[in-house]
Amino acid sequence: MEKQRTVAIPAEAELARQMEYIRQIRQQNDEYFKKTGEQKKFYSLAMGCQMNAHDSEKLEGMLDEMGYIRTEEETDADFIIYNTCCVRENAELKVYGKLGWLKHYKESKNPNAIVALCGCMMQQDTVLETIRKKYRHVDLVFGTFNLYKLPELILARQESGSTIFDIWQQQEEIVEDLPSIRHFPYKASVNIMFGCNNFCSYCIVPYVRGRERSREPEDILQEIRALAADGVKEVMLLGQNVNSYGKTLEHPVSFAQLLRMVNEIDGIERIRFMTSHPKDMSDELIQAMKECDKVCKNLHLPFQSGSTEILRRMNRKYTKEDYLELVRKVKEAMPGITLSTDIIVGFPGETEEDFQETLDVIRKVRYCTAFTFIYSKRTGTPAATMENQVPEDVVKDRFDRMLHVLNPIVHEVSEEQVGRTVLVLAEEVNKQDEHILTGRTEENGLVHFAGDKSLIGQMVPVKIIENKTFYFIGERV
């Protein structure tokens, strides 16, 4: 993986402190290299959403500065870090599975390996208790608010000789400008806000990510200008609910205004954002999307359920009709725009009629992709104690029936792209065949096409010739 550095800081003094710890660890690692001829290796796994992945880019940037080199093999690492997710139970089970394996790894292969756990799952007391009791081979545990302290925590671990737990309940300050390693050279994620205030009744994110905090527009713009100067062409603006960006700033700025400012930055050719909450999607924002030539005409607009009653109990603050009307306005303003969504099946009390409403929204909106989830009970959320939890077999059956409705629609919507010539940002060489490149269209469709790797990072005109439902085959023109 190619390394791309950018500078993204905790509050300045804090950053300076951590940079000093980084220097000390680097010295140790350099000495180790002189003695053994081997470089210490790190393995990093992001297990959650795009924010989680972006946090990992910062962790990796710090580890790189400390003189660790990346390995893709867990079984070969001296430092292993899992950035965890807890949005659904599956995500947590995966972490416990890994921890079981790691115990064996440390005992049998590398007793000096450092194991670090961080991210959303660590913000829950019950999880910390379990780790204290059952997984004593973990070395470092920290949460979502203090990831910039990684260097300090590594040193603290060396000194104390026992597991370090450092979990904060809220953010003190937004630490800007941490070192970071981007996963892609030509596209980058940029946090515009942290946390969430919405408290959808099923969702644990507000409890583990804290209240909504927006970054200052000038900090965001400066970061994007630096990315553009470093060759980045596409930025993804990240927040749990980008549509409410800027409301809590001293000088409030709307998300629509921010989009217009980002649109002015030279060198940036594409702007994406996620996630939009339907309740905050204003006419001003639709207008800004329409008028900003760099904003991709693709919108991720989760609806979760088509039933107004379920939406009310989910605390989503819109009705089925509000949602459909919003989609109508978006499509009218931007013909050809593609929409994607998130859907939950089996929320407590969901009846067959409620479920039919969900299918109705799928049929009416016609999504290009949808992320579909079976409701997962999250302890501490209001939905967890609601009556009428839907039996597993009923949910499973609904989930399958939903895919039967959804997949043909996704196929048909994709079919509309066939024959078009579009610009594809060439991102990577295909892993199986080095003559094939992979990239994305403005509408976020994945395209494989024959081309030389020198094209990577360019906007390549490609004719879409075949629709494979979840990706396309294209031909350079």
- The reply on whether position 245 binds ligand SAH by CB under 6 A is no
- The reply on whether position 304 binds ligand SAH by CB under 6 A is yes
Report helix, strand or coil for 331. Answer: helix
CA 420 – CA 78 distance, rounded (Å): 49
Q: How far is the CB of 122 from ligand F3S (least distance, A)?
A: 10
Using CB under 6 A, which residues numbered 272 to 291 contact ligand SAH? 275, 277
Residue number closest to ligand SAH, CB atom = 342
- The reply on whether position 342 binds ligand SAH by CB under 6 A is yes
Q: Give every CB contact of residue 222 below 8 A, 6+ residues apart in sequence.
A: none
CA 181 to chain centre: 15
CA 399 – CA 394 distance, rounded (Å): 9
- Which of 207, 373, 399, 471 forms a contact with ligand SAH (CB under 6 A)? 373
Residue 48 interface partner, choices ligand SAH, ligand F3S, ligand SF4, none, CB cut-off 5-8 Å depending on type: ligand F3S
CB of 208 or CB of 395, closer to ligand F3S: 208
Residue 25 interface partner, choices ligand F3S, ligand SF4, ligand SAH, none, CB cut-off 5-8 Å depending on type: none
CA 271 – CA 408 distance, rounded (Å): 29
Pairing relationship of beta strands 436-440 and 369-374 according to DSSP bridges: unpaired
Q: 196: annotated binding-site residue?
A: yes
Which DSSP symbol is given to 147?
G
CA 186 – CA 297 distance, rounded (Å): 19
- The reply on whether position 44 binds ligand F3S by CB under 6 A is no
Q: How far is the CB of 212 from ligand F3S (least distance, A)?
A: 13
The amino acid at 39? Q
Query: For residue 68, what are the CA distances in angstroms to 30, 61, 87?
Result: 9, 10, 30
Q: 296: annotated binding-site residue?
A: no
- The reply on whether position 399 binds ligand SAH by CB under 6 A is no
CA 332 – CA 426 distance, rounded (Å): 30
- Which of 52, 189, 304, 441 forms a contact with ligand F3S (CB under 6 A)? 52
Q: 120: annotated binding-site residue?
A: yes
Using CB under 6 A, which residues numbered 82 to 121 contact ligand F3S? 85-87, 119-120
Q: Helix 255-263 to helix 217-229 angle, to the nearest 10 degrees?
A: 30
Beta bridge partners of 304: 343
Q: Which residue has the tokens 């909504």?
A: 212
Binding residues for [4Fe-4S] cluster: 49, 85, 120, 196, 200, 203
Binding residues: 49, 85, 120, 196, 200, 203
- Give the footprint of ligand F3S on this chain (CB under 6 A): 48-49, 51-52, 85-87, 119-120, 205, 208-209
